[in-house]
Structure 1
Amino acid sequence: MAITDIEVMQNYIRMCGDGWDQGWHERNGGNLTYRMRPEEVEQCRPYFKDSPGEWVEMGVQADNLRGEFFISTGSGKYFRNVPLAPQDNICIVEINAAGDAWRIVWGLEKGGCPTSEFPSHFLNHSVRKEATGGACRVIYHAHPANLIAMTYILPLTARDFTRALWKSATECPVVFPGGVGVVPWMVPGGRDIALATSERMKEYDAAVWAHHGLFASGPDFDTTFGLMHTIEKAAQIYILALSAGQGKILQTIEDDQLRAIAKDFGVTLREEFLD
C-alpha cells in the first residue's frame, strides 16, 4: 500500500485532475489546500519523512490552526502533473504550535514548497473554520476564464457580482445563497491579499479575485468543486448572453422569482442584494 491509496489522498488527487480537465489551471495556475482530519493524519503518518523539513514562517498567524496538517499543491507545480506524480507535485505540511509556520512532512520529493499563496489559504482556513464551526476543510483557488472576464465589465462589488450570477442560472441562489465576495486586484502571494481575502471569507463561501480568479471553500472536495463549477457555469452563461445580445439582456430571473426559489428550496438569500 502507498500513501496515494489512502482515500483522502485519492480524493485530493482526483480534484486536481478535475480542475485541470475544466481548463482552470493553465501552466502552474491555481492551488488547492485541505485541512486534514486527525484520523487522516494518522493514516498518512507512516509515510511521513524520517526528518521533516525546516520550519518556515508564513508572515501570518492563526491560533485555531495550531498543530494542524494540510495537504497542499506545490509552488510552481502543474495541476496536470498531480495525478501522474503526486509525490513530486503535492505535499503534506504541519503547522507549528505557535500557528505561524509550516514544515513539510511528506511530498515534493524533487524539492519545492507549498503554494506561494499558502498564507492566503491559511488565513481563509482560519476564518472559515471559525465561521462554520470547524466544518470547512477545503480552500480551492482556480482561474475560471468567464468569471475573470466578468471582473472587467462589472463594478467590483459583492452585490453586483452576486446578482449577475444568481440571475444567470436557477441553481445559483440555492448553491450560494449568501452570495460571493469580491477582492480588488492585488499582488498575489503576500500578506495584504491574504488579509483582504480572509475578510471576505468571514461572510462568503467564495471570493472573486479581480482579473485573477476565484477562491472557493467547503466541507469536502465535492462541495467545493461544485461551488467553483456552478459559479463559473453561471459566469459563462452571463458572458454568452451579453455577447449574443450585443450587451443587452431582454429578460432574466426577477428578484421575486429569486425569493420564490429560496422559499421552495429552504435557503435564506442575502436580502440586501435584492431589490
Structure 2
Amino acid sequence: MWSLKSECILVFTEGLGLLPWMVCGNGPIGEKTVIKMKEFRIVLWPHHGILACGQTVDQALGLIETAEKSAQVYVVTEGKRNQVVTDEQIMELAKAFNLNPREGIINSYSLN
C-alpha cells in the first residue's frame, strides 16, 4: 500500500493488519482482530471488510478512506505497478515527517 500512494506512509506508518479469511460473526474472527489491533490501527478481513480505530470517528474513517483509495489504484491498474513510490522515496517521506515505519515492510530500512 505504501508504494501506491505517498500519503499511506504518513497515515498508517505501522502498516496494515491482515487476517486470513475466517467465518464472520463468530468468536475467532473477533479474537484474532483484537490481537492484530494491538499492532495496527487498521485490520483487513479478506472478503468481509475492514476495521479501523482512531481517537475520533473522523480519524478512523480517514484511515479507511486512505486504504480504500490505495486499493482502488491497485484494482484500476490491475496490479500492474509501472510507477510506484519507491522504497527510497518512502524513506524520504518518513524522514521528512519524522516517522518511524514498521521494520520489515520495505527493503531499504534506513533513516540515515
- Which structure 2 residue ranges, 5 or more long, are not aligned? 108-112
Quote the residue 1:262 is aligned against: 94
Quote the residue 1:130 is aligned against: none
Quote the residue 1:212 is aligned against: 48
Identity among equivalent pairs (%): 39
Quote the residue 1:174 is aligned against: 10
- Which structure 1 residue ranges, 5 or more long, are not aligned? 1-164
Aligned counterpart in structure 2 of residue 202 of structure 1, from 38, 57, 66: 38
Quote the residue 2:110 is aligned against: none
What SS does structure 2 have at the residue aligned with 1:215?
strand
- Give the Cα–Cα distance (whole angstroms) in 2 for the partners of residues 266 and 251 of structure 1: 25
Look at both structures and tell me which one has the larger radius of gyration over its CA atoms.
Answer: 1
TM-score, with length taken from structure 2 = 0.90
For 1:143-186, what per-residue CA distance to the aligned partner results, in whole angstroms no more than 9, with x for missing partners?
Answer: xxxxxxxxxxxxxxxxxxxxxx1111110000000000111111
- Give the Cα–Cα distance (whole angstroms) in 1 for the partners of residues 81 and 105 of structure 2: 19
- Give the Cα–Cα distance (whole angstroms) in 1 for the partners of residues 61 and 80 of structure 2: 31
Q: Which amino acid aligns with 1:238?
A: Y
Give the RMSD, CA atoms, in angstroms: 1.1
Q: Which amino acid aligns with 2:82?
A: L
Map 1:67-82 onto structure 2 (within 5 A): none
Quote the residue 1:68 is aligned against: none
Quote the residue 2:26 is aligned against: 190
- Give the Cα–Cα distance (whole angstroms) in 2 for the partners of residues 271 and 258 of structure 1: 13
Asked if 1:272 is matched to 2:108, the reply is no
**Structure (1 or 2) with the greater strand fraction:** 1
Higher relative contact order (CA 8 A, sep 6+): 2
- Give the Cα–Cα distance (whole angstroms) in 1 for the partners of residues 9 and 91 of structure 2: 9
TM-score, with length taken from structure 1 = 0.38
Quote the residue 1:18 is aligned against: none
